[in-house]
Amino acid sequence: MTLNIIKVGGGIVEKEENLNLLLNDFSLLQGPKLLVHGGGRLATTLATQMGIETHMIGGRRVTDADMLRVVTMVYGGLVNKRIVAQLQARGINALGLTGADCNVIRSHRRQEGNWGFVGDVDRCDGEMLATLIRQGITPVVAPLTHDGNGQLLNTNADTIASEVAKSLATHFDVTLTFCFEKKGVLRDCNDDDSVIAHISAADFCLLREQGIVADGMVPKLENALNACRAGVKRVVITRADQLGQQDSGTVVTLE
C-alpha cells in the first residue's frame, strides 16, 4: 500500500490562500497520507512582535528558551490545530501531533555548537504512526520533539518528515514530497523555470560545491537522500500547487 507523506513549509502555511489550496490538493490524494508542517516564518513574525531576536545557522533556527516558547505556541498550537480543523472540514479525520504525543519522536539536545533547545532525532515510532494510519487517521505532525525527560525540543521540519518517512518505510510503500514555494530545486535561483529534474547523491555533492545548492536547500536535500537510503520509494521536491502532478519538481534518488 502506498503512503503519501507531504511536508509543507512555513512559506505556505503563513498565507491562508496558499494553505487552503495545498490542503485541497492534499485531501484529494488517494489512500493513506500524513502531513508534516513547518511554520518558521510565522514564528519569526511572532518573535519579532514579542521583541525576541531570531538567529539562524545554515538555514536552521537557533532556539533559546524564549524562542522555544514561541515555536511551541506557533508549531504545536496555531499552525497545527488550524491545519487539523481545516482538514476535518474537508472530510479528513486528522490528528495533530508533536513528537511528545504518544512518544512518537524522541530526540536529544544538540551538543555541538550553540543551538539552544534544538533536537536531533534518536528514533521515530513508525509502529504507532502505522497503527493510527491503518485506523483511517491522518496524522498532522508539528516539528517539535522531546527528550524523554520532559524537555520539548525544536526540530527541523524537513528532518521530521524524513525520519517519519524512514520509520514508515517498513510498513508502506512511502512517497515523500517536500512542498515549498519553488517548482523544485533550481539551477539558477533567479529563474523559476530552471528546475533540476533529477538529483542523485553524487549530483548533490557537486551542486553544493558549485554553490548552486546552498542555505536551507542543503539540509532539505540531505534529508531527502537519507530517506532514500532508508528505503523510501520516491522523494520529490516541488511547488505546493504541483502536489499530485506527475513529472513535476525535482526527483531525488541515490544514483
In angstroms, the CA 99 to CA 143 distance is 7
pLDDT in tens, 69-81: 999 999 999 999 9
3-state DSSP assignment of residue 122: strand
In this structure, what are the phi and psi dihedrals at residue 96, rounded to the nearest 5 degrees? Answer: -80, 135
pLDDT in tens, 4-18: 999 998 788 888 899
3-state DSSP assignment of residue 91: coil
Return the pLDDT at 108.
Answer: 97
In angstroms, the CA 145 to CA 175 distance is 23
Mark 182-221 as b/e (b = at least 16 C-beta within 10 Å).
bbbbbeeeeeeeebbeebeeebbeebeeeebbeebbbbbb
Return the pLDDT at 61.
Answer: 85
Mean pLDDT value of segment 93-112: 96
β-strand partners of 176: 5, 235
Cell 554553490 -> residue: 211
Return the pLDDT at 55.
Answer: 87
> CA 125, 126, 128, 134: dihedral to nearest 10 degrees?
170
Return the pLDDT at 161.
Answer: 96
Q: How far, in Å, are 62, 217, 218, 251 from residue 209 at the CA level?
A: 25, 13, 11, 20
pLDDT in tens, 18-36: 999 999 999 999 999 999 9
Is the domain spanning 2-157+180-195+239-247 CATH 3.40.50.620? The answer is no
pLDDT in tens, 193-244: 999 999 999 999 999 999 999 888 998 899 999 999 999 999 999 999 898 7
pLDDT in tens, 153-191: 999 999 999 999 999 999 999 999 999 889 999 999 889
- Confidence band of 90 (pLDDT split at 50, 70, 90): very high
Q: What amino acid is encoded at 115 in this protein?
A: W
Query: In the chain, where are the structural domains located?
Result: 2-157+180-195+239-247
Q: How much of the chain exceeds pLDDT 70, in percent? A: 99
In this structure, what are the phi and psi dihedrals at residue 137, rounded to the nearest 5 degrees? Answer: -95, 140
pTM attached to this predicted model: 0.94
